[in-house]
Structure 1
Amino acid sequence: MNIAIVGFGEQGRSSFNYWFSKGDVVVICDKKRDLELPAGAIDKLGYSYLDDLHEFDLIVRSPAVHPRTILEANPDHPEIIDKITSNTEEFFKVCKAPIIGVTGSKGKGTTSTLITRILEESGKNVHLGGNIGTPPLDLLKNNISENDIVVLELANFQLIDLRYSPHIAVCLMITEEHLDWHPDMYEYINAKKQIFAHQTVNDVAVYNAKNVYSTEIATASPAHYKIGYDAPIDEHEPIESTDGIYVDGNHIKAFGKHVVSLHDIHLKGRHNLQNVCASIGATWDLIGKRPKIIKKALDGFVGLPHRLEEIGTLNGVTFVDDSFGTNPATAEVAIKAYDQPKVLIIGGSDKNNDFTDLIETINNSNIRHIVAIGEMGPRIIEMLKNSAGNKNTPYTIINTSQTMKDIVSTAIHFAQSGDVVLLSTACASFDMFKNYKDRGEQFKAEVNAQNLA
């Protein structure tokens, strides 16, 4: 077959290796001209990289490439929509093992990792991949057997045109996100819906019973076994459902049975209780409903890098890296995770998100100083100034020509002993950094240069 790989990032490279090894003719299509290509690769680089894709037998799009972009570049050939596939979709077609898929606006990586820990603790052979790091097709190198289990983190970019659903599908909380890629919330939610839409009656659907979007799209699943979970971020908020996995006082219960005490959970922030509940819902039957397995898996698990990661302290000030929090909702939960006075580092590149609720949270929180960074920094300050609950919180603006050293030194200048310096920007990072990881790593490097305790 003649295969076009559209977009040559990590998953594009994985896709190339997979189809090239099968003996297919594979052409790499990317708008960047300065790519490092595999030896012997055929390429179609530059401005016209999307032209004449109808000539190929298969079009493998990378996650960053919207299917609409391919169709708009080939308006005379609408039939090519049937030729578009992805690294993820091909994996679903060929994988012998049952697949657990996890989606949501945030918490996917933490939940996927915890599901993997729980299953491994029970003695199962588990393969973790997808949006969290390893491209799905690369997992095939592990010689996956039908007795293994695959856990995939699935973002909207992988789901939007996916024609398969996992055997166990998990949808976490959905909030406004990626509206710089989707034209509206309808398309974003519809993309997430695909995690359930192609299930069978024998599959399992796990959803956030507290979140209207998660609950709504779970109805798309024909699975007879649906598990809701209920873990309010506000500890005073009542539980609405006790039919599945839920928080009851200081305990998490599964269908009325005690599973784990909250003091055995070391993840920071009450929002992480939702991730724990979802992980229990996805694995409860697979591990024989044994609470001891859950407790062991949670032991020592403090989360993933750049998710409320406490770096250390300096002169009584705690530094927290939450660079993964790239939307207003995640910044809200990060702010609420700490009662101490905070120096908040916020801002970055725009994703067309609504900041209304976050502005209210900032006004109602103990924020000592705001370090407003990047393109959105000044706009967030203006939103605060124009808000009904404006408290005139002091602020410093750091523009895009400045560096992380400027950001950290400013935060240190205004922080006092007992405070938290919180990097939780509510925005993407591309105005000043390569990505959220680069932003977080630079933050940690600058903070660690201060000789933390």
Structure 2
Amino acid sequence: MNRIVRNFIDQAILTGKQAVVVGTGKSGLAAARLLDVLGARVRVADRKDDLTEDVLGPLKGKAELVAGEHKKEHFADADIIVFSPGVPVRKLAPVLEGIPARKIVAELEFASWFIEAPVLAVTGSNGKTTTTTLISEIFAQAGRRAFTGGNIGVPLCEYLLDMEPAEIIVLEVSSFQLQNCRLFKPHVGVFLNFSANHLDYHEDMDEYLDAKLNLFSQMTGEDTALLHESLRPVLKDRSFTNAHVEWFDATDRFDAPHLPGEHNRSNVEAAWQAVRRFGVTEEQAAATIMNFKPLAHRIEPVGEKKGVLYVNDSKATTLDAALAAVRSFDRPVRILMGGVWKGGDVARFARDVDGRVVQVGLFGGAREDLEPELAKRFPVSWDETLEGATKRLAAGAAPGDVVLLSPATASFDQYNGMAERGADFKRVVGGLHD
């Protein structure tokens, strides 16, 4: 337990106060645990009506669980309301009416109140996890003690309770986490790219961008905002930060044999520009980048059968991510797409991959969103399952082709997450005849 947490306890700042945590996900429950340690009375509210107290884990019998539709009385007596990522405040506006905005805080911001080490935060529509993980591995190679978490791995509240203090806090941060932040302030903030995503959650692209830009709103001239060149047209007329702003783009500065494609060269450059602010040398970074391999489900080679390469890019939940994956190959691509649609310009995607993609295999949901435009340029088939679509593309593939799972959608029509979808693809490929 760190010094600031201990100070809150000693001064009884939250002792006896009523705290409400919205959401029973990993981050929400970590926030509930921290509030309990700080002496608050904790109520956890979740719209799912089939939850039991078992979901509270170690807080069972200590915290109050309110399951089912949110009501005003669940929040009326709150001194602090902590929102889990993915819970949109605007949808709860009717039940939060009359509650001062200062009482409502995102889990990320709540945890940041207790952080003493400098924070390096990475956001963007695509590439966040790869870049964040690469940054952390560079720090490890350089002998720096870093904590990595946020939108990946361990929630920041859990770090405060259970882990040894780190020199540097490295966070992947999503728009879900940032939307309710007002005071969160990293020392270095990285914005990798911006494209249509999460439009099933955000009201529109403006709201989505505003959430991302919350990352930079409290930064000062002593902090650094690292922004990709593609963001200049989007941000040129916006006053969104007082930080020192620098721009980056893809370079050939480093040899990254396991990270193909221009998008990865951009991610590598972003990682370097971020870590050098903490005293890491180019030589230390280069050694890590040379050996860094793609994370699971991110342009991950699964195997080659009869001269056809099978690649798992299940993490690609947007059209831009799928475009980046297609552009990573200099061989014909037969692409598997489908799932829960999150928005985007399918006609533009079709134009951008024309000449690279030779066949599209759709599966599951989003057929009505994808097929009309894609069928104007490519042979398109549809199968109910990923297995059926994969076998269909495999049957027509020629030596030298790539069969690429890069769905451009969320996975929740048929799977519990992108990892389960990627694992299913690996299973199917494993069963194909050599």
TM-score, normalised on structure 2? 0.89
Unaligned 5+ residue runs, structure 2?
1-16
Instruction: Name the SS for the 1:196 alignment partner.
Output: coil
| Native 8 Å contact 2:120 2:171 kept in 1 | yes
20, 24, 40: which is aligned to 1:24?
A: 40
Instruction: Name the SS for the 2:291 alignment partner.
Output: coil
Q: 1:132 deviation in Å?
A: 1.6
Moved more, 134-143 or 94-103: 134-143
- 1:272-421 matched pairs, under 5 angstroms: 272-288=264-280, 290-362=281-353, 364-385=354-375, 390-391=376-377, 393-399=378-384, 403-421=385-403
Match of 1:220 in 2: 240
Match of 2:86 in 1: 64
168, 175, 180: which is aligned to 1:156?
A: 175
Counterparts of 1:57 and 1:19 in 2: how far apart (Å)? 12
- 1:43-62 matched pairs, under 5 angstroms: 43-48=65-70, 51-62=73-84
382, 385, 410: which is aligned to 1:428?
A: 410
142, 152, 158: which is aligned to 2:163?
A: 142
CA deviations on 1:358-406 (whole Å, 9 max, x unpaired) are: 12124x2233321112221243121234xxxx34x3222123xxx3322
User: What number of residue pairs does the alignment pair up?
Assistant: 410
One-letter code of the match for 1:178?
H
Runs of 4+ in 1 over 3 A off after TM superposition: 48-52, 212-219, 449-452
Counterparts of 1:192 and 1:211 in 2: how far apart (Å)? 12
82, 87, 108: which is aligned to 1:88?
A: 108
One-letter code of the match for 1:113?
T
1:34 equivalent to 2:56? Answer no
TM-score, normalised on structure 1? 0.86
Instruction: Name the SS for the 1:413 alignment partner.
Output: helix
Moved more, 207-216 or 264-273: 207-216
| Native 8 Å contact 1:61 1:84 kept in 2 | yes
Instruction: Name the SS for the 2:81 alignment partner.
Output: strand
Q: 1:212 deviation in Å?
A: 3.2
Q: 1:214 deviation in Å?
A: 6.5
| Native 8 Å contact 2:127 2:267 kept in 1 | yes
Counterparts of 2:431 and 2:156 in 1: how far apart (Å)? 37
CA deviations on 1:87-116 (whole Å, 9 max, x unpaired) are: 211221101100001111111111111111
Instruction: Name the SS for the 2:113 alignment partner.
Output: helix
Counterparts of 1:426 and 1:437 in 2: how far apart (Å)? 14
| Native 8 Å contact 1:378 1:397 kept in 2 | no
Counterparts of 2:363 and 2:72 in 1: how far apart (Å)? 35
| Native 8 Å contact 1:311 1:320 kept in 2 | yes
Q: 1:220 deviation in Å?
A: 1.9
| Native 8 Å contact 1:268 1:302 kept in 2 | no
Unaligned 5+ residue runs, structure 1?
232-246, 253-259
Q: 1:215 deviation in Å?
A: 4.6
Moved more, 4-13 or 372-381: 372-381
Moved more, 152-161 or 21-30: 21-30
| Native 8 Å contact 2:415 2:421 kept in 1 | yes
CA deviations on 1:209-249 (whole Å, 9 max, x unpaired) are: 233367549852212x3221122xxxxxxxxxxxxxxx2xx
Q: 1:47 deviation in Å?
A: 2.1
Counterparts of 1:122 and 1:322 in 2: how far apart (Å)? 30
Moved more, 119-128 or 370-379: 370-379
Instruction: Name the SS for the 1:37 alignment partner.
Output: helix
- Over the aligned positions, Cα root-mean-square deviation in angstroms equals 2.0
Q: 1:449 deviation in Å?
A: 3.2
